Amino acid sequence: MITTTNPATGVVADTSMAPTDPADVDAIARAAGDASLDLQARGREWRATLLDAMAAAAERHRAELVGTAAAETGLTEARLNGELSRSAFQFSLFAEAVREGSMFEAMIDHAADTPLGAAPDVRRLLVSVGAVAVFGSSNFPFAFSVLGGDVASAIAAGSAVVAKAHGSHPETSRLSFEVLREAAAEVGAPAATFGIVYGQAAGVTLVQHPSIAAVGFTGSLGAASALRAAIDTRPDPIPFYGELSSVNPLIVTPGAVAARSDEIAAGLFAAVTGSAGQLCTKPGIAFIPDGAEGQLLVDALARLTEQAEAQVLLNSRIRDSYHDITARLKDAGGDVLATGAPGGLGDAFDVSPTILSTLAAELTSELSEECFGPLVVLARYSDLDTVASAFLEVPRSLTATVHAEDDELAALAPLVELLQRNVGRVVFNGYPTGVRVSWAQQHGGPWPATNSLHTSVGVTAMRRFLRPIAWQNAPQSLLPAELRDGPLTVPTRVDGVLRLP
């Protein structure tokens, strides 16, 4: 039987769900493969309607979803309400994008005499890859789980989805799945548009199934590696999109610290401790100038930390890992600058917020290990060259952040170029947490941040689940609607020229 644990009390309870057996996984995956063909065939407008229904269903079941997730994750209801809004918004945004249609990259090259001779009519559109398996993360029970962006982007692409329920929030996963099934029923989608499996073994069977055409994953490098090994046993390689690991270095310049050390201390503290520091975009290393003004920022951050409550982590594995990594960081030369209220006094999975300190000139890869939870390493530096050198010890990340004043920008250009090379998003005078869901967002980065050249947040996340097909000299009746002659229905490149409908 699958169990569920309340991290705020440590109480373990049985659920009504059993690990999904291999025969059931097989049936679910097959049905998803068939449902994908159906979703593709029904076209864009219908899929947008389905996405809108998903958004509405999530909103309709808000109270139940938030209550269930709160009990399973220890996250606050305020945070979970915000996250559910974000989930619903994602479905709506993908509905808009599917209606607008750019993401399907319609192109028409009419037959022509070219420098290479007579050329046939060729028309191209992106279509669904087929059914997608989604493995959500522990830290976003909605926005990166069964009601999350991977699911929304896959449906937008025209793929049915089979989610693997997360072991840290199985009841939230089940309830989310039922909400999606309800949305599917409302618009007459095949029931198999959404499937769910429970248990690690079922997850492995799922990614090995011939009907699964791609995998979306958010989680640890270790879990990704195990899943990758399972996928590699397939005769056919399939894309595996993993959002994996990120240290998110943040740099405060001398000018910024002189201008607003208290403000940055407060912002950094919030970014490090929000959601108990369990965000893939949490700043894990902050480079702070070593002079007196830098010290003001450090002192302000220490004061905030010392006043902080212990924070409940999502599960015992993350709690244990927090202790283990904190110990390793100390061994590697991280001095304890401040801690909050001690955790671990009762049965809750709570820990103490912690600030470690080191010299940037002495930063090592050991001191740059990602620590999931409310911990940050401050690296004090004397000049920007030292930051640039130290930065090379930091694993490539989802984000890098710079706090700087306008008169410093010219001197910062080489450093910013270095950051760009090693991350997917560069943030100025803000914080990398609170990832905006929009067209231009990029939530991904060079390995080990992610393992692909794509984003898992924002509209372009759809691209992961789309593949191109070209039709050569095709009769009108056998072309997708978007490629037929007549008024354009989507932005289309016609004979090399991009045209709007």
Question: For residues 143-202, which are near a second copy according to CB under 8 A?
Answer: none
Beta bridge partners of 497: 494
CA separation for the pair 437, 93 (Å, rounded) = 8
Nearest to 284 by CA among 421, 433, 422: 433
Residue 371 bears catalytic tag:
no
Smallest gap from Cβ 334 to a second copy, in A, equals 24
Selected range binding a second copy among 9-17, 293-301, 315-323, 420-428, rule: CB under 8 A: 420-428
> Smallest distance from the beta carbon of 104 to a second copy, in angstroms?
12
Give the one residue of 454, 456, 462, 482 binding a second copy; rule: CB under 8 A: 454
End-to-end CA distance of the chain: 54
Alpha-carbon 295 to chain mean position: 34
Contact call for residue 473 and a second copy (CB under 8 A): yes
Site for a second copy in 8-37 (CB under 8 A): 37
Residue 478 lies near a second copy (rule: CB under 8 A): yes
Cβ–Cβ under 8 Å, residues 32 and 162: yes
**Short-list 159, 213, 209, 169, CA closest to 189:** 159
Q: Which stretch binds a second copy (CB under 8 A): 62-70, 113-121, 262-270, 354-362?
A: 113-121
Examine residue 424 and tell whether it contacts a second copy (CB under 8 A): yes
Question: 4 to each of 246, 275, 276, 313, how far by Cα in Å?
Answer: 28, 20, 20, 15
Number of residues that bind a second copy (CB under 8 A): 79
Tell me the C-alpha distance between 5 and 74, whole Å: 10
Strand 106-109, strand 492-494: pairing: parallel
Q: Which two structure tokens, joined as six digits, stand for 388?
A: 């640039």
How many CB atoms lie under 10 A from the CB of residue 56? 17
123 binds a second copy (CB under 8 A): yes
Q: Which residues, 427 to 446, sit near a second copy by CB under 8 A?
A: 427-430, 432, 436-442, 444, 446
What number of CA atoms fall less than 13 Å from residue 199's CA on the CB side?
14
Q: Does residue 291 interact with a second copy by CB under 8 A?
A: no
Stretch that binds a second copy, among 8-16, 249-257, 269-277, 452-460 (CB under 8 A): 452-460
Interaction residues for a second copy, span 360-419 (CB under 8 A): 406, 409-410, 412-413, 416-417
Q: Is 496 in the site for a second copy (CB under 8 A)?
A: yes
Contact with a second copy (CB under 8 A): which of 448, 484, 488, 489? Answer: 448
Q: Which stretch binds a second copy (CB under 8 A): 181-189, 235-243, 267-275, 310-318?
A: 235-243
Between strands 194-197 and 122-128, the pairing is unpaired
In angstroms, what is the minimal distance from the CB of 361 to a second copy?
24
Q: Which residues between 91 and 110 bind a second copy (CB under 8 A)? A: 96, 100, 102, 105, 107-109
Task: Give the phi and the psi of residue 221 in degrees, each rounded to 5.
Answer: -60, -40
219 binds a second copy (CB under 8 A): no
- Whether 280 is a known active-site residue: answer yes
Dihedral of the alpha carbons of 170, 175, 179, 181, in degrees to the nearest 10: 70
SS3 assignment for 389-424? HHHCCCCCEEEEEEECCHHHHHHHHHHHHHHHHHEE
How far, CA to CA in Å, does 81 sit from each of 63, 316, 327, 392, 418? Answer: 9, 24, 34, 38, 37
Binding residue (CB under 8 A) for a second copy from 120, 291, 344, 346 = 120
Give the nearer residue to a second copy in terms of CB position, either 123 or 319: 123
Could you say whether residue 469 binds a second copy (CB under 8 A)? yes
Question: Which of 46, 471 has the CB closer to a second copy?
Answer: 471
Determine phi and psi for 317, rounding to 5 degrees.
-65, -45
Judged by CB under 8 A, does residue 239 bind a second copy?
yes
Query: Which CB, 26 or 96, lies closer to a second copy?
Result: 96
- Out of 81, 89, 99, 299, point to the residue binding a second copy (CB under 8 A): 89
Catalytically annotated residue among 243, 293, 370, 482: 243
Least distance from a second copy to the Cβ atom of residue 438, Å: 4
Annotated catalytic residues are 243, 280
